[in-house]
Structure 1
Amino acid sequence: MKLIIGPSLLLLASTLLIGCSSSHKAKKSNATVASMSKEGSKEALDETIASWPSRPKLAIQQMMDKYGPPTEVSEAAVIWRDVGDYKRIMVTKTEIPHDFPMPHMDFLEHTVSYMVPADKADELLAFDGSITINKTAGEMSARCDLEGHNILTLNLANDIVKNNKGVKEARTEFGKNVVADFAGQHPAYVEKLQFKPHSPMKAAFPDVAVIAGSPVRATASTNMKGDAEIMGKVLAVDLNEVLAASTATKKDVSKPVMDYANMLQMEHAKNQKATMMLGQKIGMKPADTKAVDELKKKGANELSMLVPLKGEEFEKAYIAGMIKDHNAVLAMIDNELIPAAQSKDLKSHLKMTRDHVAMHLEKAKEIEKNL
């Protein structure tokens, strides 16, 4: 079945092309956000979007009138978070040509928390190519030029997921609703969501680990301490060193530093694998707890300060960082991990890990003397 668009819709093409204003009235939200609550922030927004195309600028004004000031403003996008029924609303400076149901430009996106079944993804994309699905985050987004038409897209997408409509029927209904909308008939599917978005926690799908012995992510309802957390901390340390070493191997550094980085990457990766195999042996998966995550964050913060450096400046900072980090890891193993470990096999693994860390530390000290 072909989508049939009547003359009344075609007459409205020019309206779409210049960015139509929505016919839907709504009370202005009292939402306030930090980025727009500061003195002069409205002026800063106006300055940021001064060179934007007229249609996205209009959409920003319409969203502000309905939802209040945005949460985030950048050169590329203006974003509202957790307003109305939406997890996120975004207006982008970039306009993308889109010919369904008739030629217009996409620049306004509405996102809801929604768990899309994997077997429905193809149907949704066949219905409207401007739908985006983030299964991991549990999000479904619609992108168009009008809020009402994004609402329409999301409502029809929900119908497809619920098997209430097929793709062809949904596309035809989209065209009919657009005609009715511009005729001032206020179709329900254009006015508001006809379903309740899923809760973010239930919609999200973190997926399933496929690497044997991978850690288990701890939640607020789980108490994963003891040996499981100890193994998680060892893995976090190894990960930090692997990422730092990988960064060093991509820099223009001297041979001693390059050789050292290659050694660290190889040996810490090997220890990662050994730790996960140990978990399988003792019947306990490493735990990715809050404390473990803090170690990863610490590593990321330190690496972020190394990345911009080059040449000799990078070499000195990298080796100094390795000395500092390996000293800290030795202290953690000696004072925290080994005393707390219950499994004999884990204690043995920690002692072996300690020997490698101590060797890495001494090697770094030798290199530092010649920098």
Structure 2
Amino acid sequence: MNSAEILLTWPEEAREAAQLVVDRYGEPDEAQPSQLVWFEVGEWKRVVATREFWEHQFPAPHHDSVESVIDYRVPPEMFSALAEFDGSVVARRTMGEMAATCHDEEANRLALNLAHEIVTGDRDVTDARAYYSTEFVDARRKAPTPYMEKLNFVQAGQTVDADIRTISELELQQAAKEGQA
């Protein structure tokens, strides 16, 4: 199935958002009835458009259905701040990824640029939410929107975080022996 055939079966809220991605990047690398996936397009590691969509009230009512993913290492102590900033921003520690899901990639850029500034300490959550609202409205005014135009940072170095082992090989072997008894 090509994307046009798949999108015919999607609700309008998700179909319109996905069509913007198809128009920009062409046919997806993977196409399933529930999602379309592009790899290494634009500045993104991955873009996923889904049939399912979520109502989101911040900063104004809209529907989230397009996820933009980048390689990015978020320190564990910053996860709560990112969740407080925007529930559509997700950090995946083990995979070394950060993603934003919204109605278009411009809004995802805005969210990820501000998430980066929260992680680096350049903004707090309150300031980031206020700036997001300002730039969101500026986009409708056709005013400059520098955080929507491009990612304003480069993540350098290794982003994957395999975490720290807490159980030794000896402990695992002992537990296996106990489980056989």
TM-score, reference length from structure 2: 0.90
Say which of 98, 108, 113 aligns to 2:71.
113
1:198 to partner: Cα distance: 4.1
Query: SS of the counterpart of 1:203?
Result: coil
Say which of 163, 169, 173 aligns to 2:121.
163
Q: Give the gaps of 5 or more residues in structure 2.
A: none
Query: SS of the counterpart of 1:194?
Result: coil
CA distance in 2, matches of 1:198, 1:112: 12
CA contact (8 A) 2:30 2:38 kept: yes
The residue correspondences of 1:24-39 to structure 2 (distance < 5 A) are: none
CA distance in 2, matches of 1:147, 1:83: 12
CA contact (8 A) 2:20 2:104 kept: no
Determine the structure 2 residue equivalent to 1:264. Answer: none
Determine the structure 2 residue equivalent to 1:88. Answer: 46
1:60 to partner: Cα distance: 2.2
Kindly provide the amino acid, as one letter, of the partner of residue 122 in structure 1: S
1:61 to partner: Cα distance: 2.1
CA distance in 2, matches of 1:197, 1:62: 26
Which is richer in helix? 1
CA distance in 2, matches of 1:85, 1:46: 24
Determine the structure 1 residue equivalent to 2:86. Answer: 128
Query: SS of the counterpart of 2:164?
Result: coil
Q: Which has the higher contact order (CA 8 A, sep 6+)?
A: 2
Say which of 159, 168, 176 aligns to 1:212.
168
Say which of 117, 134, 142 aligns to 1:184.
142
1:172 to partner: Cα distance: 0.3
CA distance in 2, matches of 1:97, 1:160: 24
Say which of 136, 147, 169 aligns to 2:105.
147
CA distance in 1, matches of 2:41, 2:143: 26
Determine the structure 1 residue equivalent to 2:153. Answer: 195
CA distance in 2, matches of 1:126, 1:161: 12
Kindly provide the amino acid, as one letter, of the partner of residue 61 in structure 1: Q
Determine the structure 2 residue equivalent to 1:100. Answer: 58
1:59 to partner: Cα distance: 2.1
The residue correspondences of 1:234-273 to structure 2 (distance < 5 A) are: 269-270=176-177
Query: SS of the counterpart of 2:94?
Result: coil
Kindly provide the amino acid, as one letter, of the partner of residue 168 in structure 2: A
Query: SS of the counterpart of 2:133?
Result: helix
CA contact (8 A) 1:113 1:198 kept: no
CA contact (8 A) 1:85 1:197 kept: no
1:197 to partner: Cα distance: 3.3
TM-score, reference length from structure 1: 0.45
Residue 77, structure 1, aligned to residue 35, structure 2? yes
Q: Give the gaps of 5 or more residues in structure 1.
A: 1-40, 215-234, 239-268, 274-371
1:136 to partner: Cα distance: 0.1
1:185 to partner: Cα distance: 1.6
Bigger Rg, which one: 1
How many residues align? The count is 177
* CA shift digits 1:133-154 (9 cap, x unpaired): 1100001111111211110000
1:271 to partner: Cα distance: 10
